[in-house]
Amino acid sequence: MIRSANWINAKYGIFVGIIVIYILGMFVDVMDTDAAQYASIAREMIETGNYLHFKHRYADYLDKPPLLFWLSAISMKILGINNFAYKLPSVLVGLLCIYSVYRLMKVWYNDEVAYWSALILASSQTFFLIHNDIRTDTLQIGFTLFSLWQLVEIERTKKWKYIIGAGIGIGFGMLAKGPMSLMLPILALGSDIIRKLEWKRIFNWRWLIVLSIAGVMLIPMLIAQYEMYGIKAIRFFFWSQSFGRITGESPWKNDAGYFFLLHSYLWAFAPWTALWIYAYINETLNLAKKQREYVLWGSFTLVFIALSFSHYKLPHYIYIVTPLGAMITAKHIIQDKEKINRFIVIAQSCMNYLIYALIFVLLIWIFPASWWWYTIVTVFFIFTQYLQWIKKQILISSVTSMIALHTVGSLYVYPILLNYQSTHEIAEYVHKNKPEDVVFATYTFSNHSLDFYGNQIVPCVGYRGELEKQILQGKKYWLYILEKDIPHIQELNTVNIKIIYQNTYFMVANMSLEFINPATRAKTLEKRCIAEITLKQ
């Protein structure tokens, strides 16, 4: 059963538990490839001192706008090159997103709907993930929802602080990940205007001020990109990188299928998936009725459809609609709470048991744990059951289930998982043990995380002849190399090879069933070593 708003006012402490999990995730290593690449680019900005003509491994970089790199570089300049400093700006913007959702729903509905919108969003699988594996999405989502809130307030109050806030929000959102941060608010308010036939709302001079502020914020980036790449950089930012994936102009294609993002969203919105399905169906059926707003359905649906038609899709692309889904879900479960209370209990009880089943599978089979982890999870489980059956707080019990899952994830599973990436381990070993007159390099491959944790762009020796040439010139190498490539180097008659250190590597972002299964995991691990290469006397 869902309590009244008076009960809710005493329960904001549940957000503290969620934020603690976000903070724990800030200490987890970055994953190859995307997060580690972005962390490496931010670190490289500090090294070069060039924050406009930004580079990736000393080469010009165009793929993503610079906001994540700028904010993380500033944070690391102050706090040092580490996981926490890289992730801090994005986590703060993620909290801004949660607050914006709360304020937005408070404008349209009431405190109760606003509270549950924020709590459903904050406790969703998506939001636990994006505050751990930091990419450009966290900033995009945060600033886009902030700008939507500001735009709604402009129509309601016409105050200048919201005009400025909306312009800044859209500008930062576009600097985070491109034009979608402008398109989502347009689709949101446009849906409402079209459904209500309120055409005069389009001709509001304040929209021009908002766009002007956002446009001014883009100027430094656009000038820098034009200087590096010419006019193609401007077209890439405004068209190719986003809309070009829908039209097929972009070279990035994987043709994942029209329903790829749908099943991605179903797991990413856990533990609220069943309630979202109910809420979205009802929101669709209510389109013919007069209601406060049509923003949520219109923006969620149109963005979802546009992304589903993209020729290149990855699961995290759909995260942008998660706040909209949270608001739709909260709106309908509060409005219909008496009618669907039994459905809520059944759906969320099943989800709670599935979550704890997953936790115990992780602890017993995938990564066998010490007894005290079972004790901690058992305490969480008992507390969840107490909330679920004794206190009749089924929705809060689902939040505690997610807190339990991600407590285990952040403190136990992720650290073990990232040990298989092993680049942090290699960087620390090299830092402590490498002689000053020896060059550390990789052979035929590179890892962004190795650049980040090594606090340098680790050079890559591309082929055997290049290595031999450098050795003949008097250089000594510690070569981070695949074990299978050692015989290839041994064919050189001019060098000595000595194995200094051995480990294994697995790119944990590319999870597979073979890796998950402990019986077959060893087959997936890439054997690597550090080999000392010197001139044969």
Question: pLDDT tens across 403-450, in order?
Answer: 999 999 999 999 999 999 999 999 999 999 999 999 999 999 999 999
Q: How many helices (H) and strands (E) does the chain have?
A: 27, 7
Cβ 144 vs Cβ 169: under 8 Å: yes
Beta bridge partner(s), residue 81: none
The verdict on residue 512 lying in a domain is yes
Number of domains in the chain: 3
Same domain, 113 and 246: yes
- Do the domain assignments include residue 8? no
Last residue of a domain, one of 421, 444, 467: 421
Q: Are residues 408 and 519 in the same domain?
A: no
The Cα–Cα gap between 188 and 322 comes to 14
Same domain? For 96 and 197 the reply is yes
For residues 41 and 174, membership in a common domain is answered with yes
Site of tokens 């450009």: 136
User: Are 114 and 146 contained in the same domain?
Assistant: yes
Question: Bridge-partner residues for 496, per DSSP?
Answer: 534
pLDDT at res. 17? 94
Q: Which domain holds residue 368?
A: 341-421
What percentage of the chain carries pLDDT values higher than 70? 98
Confidence of residue 256 (pLDDT cuts 50, 70, 90): confident
Closest of 142, 36, 46 to residue 453, by C-alpha: 36
3-class SS of residue 207: helix
Alpha-carbon distances, residue 159 vs 109, 210, 336 (angstroms): 21, 12, 34
3-state secondary structure of 481: strand
What 251-256 contacts at long range (C-beta under 8 Å, 24+ apart), as own/partner pairs, is 252/311, 252/312, 253/311, 253/312, 254/311, 254/312, 254/313, 255/311, 256/312, 256/313
Is residue 257 one of the residues assigned to a domain?
A: no
Query: End of a domain among 205, 236, 251?
Result: 251
pLDDT at 4 over 50: no
Residue 278 included in any domain: no
For residue range 140-151, list pLDDT tens digits in order. Answer: 999 999 999 999
Q: What is the pLDDT of residues 514-524, one digit of tens each?
A: 999 999 999 99
Strand-pair category, 526-535 with 495-505: antiparallel
Q: What is the DSSP letter of 438?
A: E
Query: Would residue 281 count as lying in a domain?
Result: no
Quick one: 215 and 228 in the same domain? yes
Instruction: State the pTM of this model.
Output: 0.95
Q: Give the model confidence (pLDDT) of 35-63 as tens digits.
A: 999 999 999 999 999 999 888 999 999 88
CA angle 305, 139, 91 (to 5 degrees): 125
**Which segments of 336-393 does DSSP mark as H helices, in order?**
341-361, 371-385
Question: Quick one: 179 and 46 in the same domain?
Answer: yes
Whether 275 is covered by a domain: the verdict is no
256, 250, 251: which is closest to 238 by C-alpha?
250
**What is the per-residue pLDDT across 225-246, written as a single tens digit (0 to 9) for each?**
999 999 999 998 998 888 877 7
Identity of residue 297: W
d(CA 201, CA 42) in angstroms, rounded, equals 41
Both 219 and 364 in one domain: the answer is: no
Same domain, 45 and 187: yes
pLDDT at 257: 84
Confidence class for position 158, pLDDT limits 50, 70, 90: very high
Here the tokens at position 494 are 């001019």
Same domain (yes/no): 508, 395: no
> Is residue 103 included in any domain, yes or no?
yes
What mean pLDDT do residues 116-142 have? 97
* Residue where a domain terminates, one of 212, 230, 251: 251
Residues 86 and 190 in one domain: yes
Same structural domain, 406 and 469: no
- Has residue 352 been placed in a domain? yes
pLDDT tens, residue by residue, 266-277: 999 999 999 999
- The candidate with the shortest Cα–Cα distance to 275, out of 395, 356, 392, 388, is 395
